[in-house]
Each structure stands twice: as structure tokens, then as C-alpha cells.
Structure 1
Amino acid sequence: MTRGGQGLARVAVVVRAGAAPLWWLGVIAAGVGVLPPGVTGRRIGVLAGAALFLVAAAVVALAHRGRYAALTRGVARAGRHDVLQDRAVTVRNWRRGHRWWLLLAFLAALGSAFAVPSAGGLLLAGTGAGLRLKAAWLGRRERALDLLLWVRVDWLGKRGGRPAGKAVKAYRGTGIAAGDAAPGGARRRTAALV
């Protein structure tokens, strides 16, 4: 980064980075969690887990939307010397920074199966689904604004994942074609050559 440029990571990619591991760890924990009968019994455990899945997905998807919207309103154009971080690097940094939390959450979900079968796993999967929904909402905002939202890497914290945290003062924006991730943080699909 020369001449005062900053490293920038896509906001939607940071949000979406935890969706897949939380989803899959939750699905695995819920599947294994069906095996022990638990204190409540399997039927009650699965029904409670389904309710927790819906609540977690809704809460995570709706959390901090006002903060994201406020930061979106104050978008400044990215500078010519700013360095746009690749999607894969952003995802890898988030997952490395949160690997122990993911492991602890998975073990807690497995352990909870002895009390309420599958509920902990479905709660974890619901959190992953909520992150995916939030990233999709950010993608719709990016399309509506016709720009991609970026956050300074040094504002994300040591674990690489608080795109709407207190340290974040403003977002930067680029054209919709910048970077290697589509609006919403998914991999950009390249059109097939005819």
C-alpha cells in the first residue's frame, strides 16, 4: 500500500464468511444430535430446534441493519491507491480468526443434544442462515446504489470480522465491477465466451 492507500475488504464478504461454516457445523451437530434421546425426547428437541433456527436466522439477519444503513449513507469513493482484498483472502482471514469460536460452538451444540436433541445444531445452522440473509440484503443495497461497499481492513479487528463495529467510521465505495465478488459477497460468475 503506497502513497497513503488502505487495504479494503468487501463488507458483504465479511458478513457472508461465517455463513457456510456455521450452517454446515450446525447441520452436522443437528444430525448427530438426533441420536441421543436427551432429556426432552427427540420430537420436542427437533421442534424446539426448528423454532430456534427460525428465531436465530431472523435475529442475525436483522441485527445492526440501522448501523449498516448509516455507514452506507456516508460512503466515500475508494482512492486510487487503495488495495482491494480478494474474496478468498477475506474469507480465509475471517475463518482463521474465528476457528476456535466455531469449534466451541460446534462442541456446545453437540453437548446440548444430551438435554435437547438437535436444538443446538439447528440454532447454529440458523445463525449461518441469518448471515447469508444479511449478506443478500447488503447485496440488494449494493445493486440499488450501483456500488460495492468496502471497509478498511485495519478497522475489522484482530479476528477480521466486525464490518459494522464501533471501530468502523465509514465505508468506501467502488464501481459494481470492482473486485472478484458479486453484490452480496458471492463469487463473481464469469460469462462463458461464445
Structure 2
Amino acid sequence: MATRGAQGLVRTAVVVRAGAAPLWWLGVVAAGVGLVPDGLTGRRIGLLAGAALFLVVAAAVAYARRQRYARLARGAARAGKFDVLQDRQVTVRNWRRGHRWWLVLAFLAAVAGAFAVPAAGGMALAGAGAGLWLKAAWLGRRERESDALVWLRVDWLGPRAGAPAGKRVKAYRSTGTAAGDAAPGGARRR
């Protein structure tokens, strides 16, 4: 979007949160399907391993790159008058389209892993979804504390909707908390 120096901006928290629901629900379904085979380890060990994996993966995803997010948010410049703010629904749809094959492969890997360790792969996948929700909630708390929403340029995400704190992202932009159609943390506004 290059009209008069305008940039298309997408909410950082919405991008983070976009993967939470599909990962959570695919993980729950994969864990449920994974309880059908007895596996090499048995269901009890599979469930215990899955619970441990859920906690480890959720914590790892929730805490990954927090310093980079915080550094980019602290240095955020105000969004320009002509910058275009992308709708929450468009952001979520673009992220899910860009990652649909990764989601399918992760689901199939979790189900296939159930023949070795029942339900563990699905619980790890659900843990990744929970970790993304926790990270989005953390970003929302930061946005409320600073009284500013954090955005990044759409073109820095790339065609496959890359990471919102990846190497391509050079800086964030900020707006007031009333901008856009998503609340702090990336949830729908009530």
C-alpha cells in the first residue's frame, strides 16, 4: 500500500493469537484420536508424557522471543496519518491461509505419533495453541500498561505470514487503544 507513503499495518497481538485456536483444536482432536491405539507405551504413559509435553510446549511458546517483542514495542513510532490498519478478521484469515499446510502436517504427525505414544503429540500441539494465547494475553497487558496498540508492516510478514518478531521485522508502529477492531491482546472488541 504505497499511497503517499502509506503502509499497511497489522496488529502484532492478532498475528500471535491467529494460530492459537487452530493449534488448540487440532491438538485436542489429535489427542482424542490418539487415545484409540494402545501405542508402544500404553495409554497411561502416553497421557502422562502428553501432559508434560503440554506444559513444556505451552511455556516455551509463551516465553519465546519476549525480549525482542518488548524491545520492538518500546521503540515503536507512532503510525502515520495515511497508514492503513488491517482488520482483525483479514489478519486471522491471512495467517491461517499461509499456515494451513503446516497445520495439516502437524495434525497428521500428532495422530501418527499416537501409535508410539498415545495422545502425546496432540497434547503438545494443544500446548502450542495455549502458549500462543498466553503470549497474546501478555502482549495485551503490555498494550494496556503503555496505553498504545502495537502494529507492524504487513509486507514484513511476507506471503506466508511470518513471525511478528522475526528477522524481517525492523520496527513496530503504535496507535491509541481505540484504533482498529481488536482489543488489546488481539481479541475481538466487545
CA deviations 1:41-77 (Å, max 9, x no partner) are 0000000000000000000000000100110110100
Distance 2:179 2:24 in 1: 28
Distance 2:71 2:183 in 1: 22
Residue of structure 2 in register with 1:151 after alignment: 152
**1:136–1:184 Cα contact (<8 Å) kept:** yes
In the alignment, structure 2 segments of 5+ residues that lack a partner are none
Tell whether 2:35 aligns with 1:10. no
- Sequence identity percentage: 79
What TM-score results when the alignment is normalised by the length of structure 2? Answer: 0.99
Tell whether 2:80 aligns with 1:54. no
Distance 1:165 1:52 in 2: 25
Distance 1:12 1:161 in 2: 13
Equivalent residue of 1:149, what SS? strand
**Cα deviation, residue 161, structure 1:** 3.0
Distance 2:74 2:148 in 1: 12
**1:14–1:161 Cα contact (<8 Å) kept:** no
Distance 1:96 1:72 in 2: 26
**Cα deviation, residue 160, structure 1:** 1.2
Residue of structure 2 in register with 1:19 after alignment: 20
Equivalent residue of 1:126, what SS? helix
Q: CA RMSD in A?
A: 0.5
Residue of structure 2 in register with 1:135 after alignment: 136
Distance 1:118 1:63 in 2: 24
Distance 1:70 1:157 in 2: 21
Residue of structure 1 in register with 2:166 after alignment: 165
Query: Where does 1:43-192 land on structure 2 (aligned, <5 Å)?
Result: 43-189=44-190
Aligned length: 189
CA deviations 1:95-137 (Å, max 9, x no partner) are 0000000000000000000000000000000000000000000
Distance 1:162 1:80 in 2: 26
In the alignment, structure 1 segments of 5+ residues that lack a partner are 190-194
Write the letter of the residue equivalent to 1:152: R
Write the letter of the residue equivalent to 1:78: A
CA deviations 1:142-183 (Å, max 9, x no partner) are 000000000000001221131101111110000000000000
Write the letter of the residue equivalent to 1:11: T
CA deviations 1:4-23 (Å, max 9, x no partner) are 10000000000000000000
Greater CA deviation, 102-111 or 150-159?
150-159
Distance 2:73 2:15 in 1: 15
**1:20–1:128 Cα contact (<8 Å) kept:** yes
Distance 1:188 1:22 in 2: 22
What TM-score results when the alignment is normalised by the length of structure 1? Answer: 0.97
Distance 1:113 1:186 in 2: 33
Greater CA deviation, 85-94 or 158-167?
158-167
